[in-house]
Amino acid sequence: MEIDAELRRQIVASLFAVGLFLVSLVAIGVVFNGTDGFDPTGGFALVGALAGFILLMAAVGFGLARAGD
């Protein structure tokens, strides 16, 4: 299977978005980790990160679909 320029662009954009999501999860874990365990506010941050990831992937998909035209 040959990887053309468009497929390479899709792979890089998707890996960047997933990497950004993973970095945000690690950052939330570091910031909201208290002495008693995970801070309850961190749960809201995780939900926000997940919602942001979904919106980011939608935007990336829309942008890549428009770039292919």
> Could you please report the per-residue DSSP string of 18-65?
HHHHHHHHHHHHHHSEETTEE-HHHHHHHHHHHHHHHHHHHHHHHHHH
Higher-pLDDT residue of 6 and 46 is 46
Which pLDDT value is given to residue 21?
A: 95
Q: How far apart are CA 67 and CA 61, in angstroms?
A: 10
Which pLDDT value is given to residue 68?
A: 66
The model's pTM: 0.82
Which pLDDT value is given to residue 50?
A: 96
Which pLDDT value is given to residue 5?
A: 84
What is the percent of the chain where pLDDT is above 90?
Answer: 51
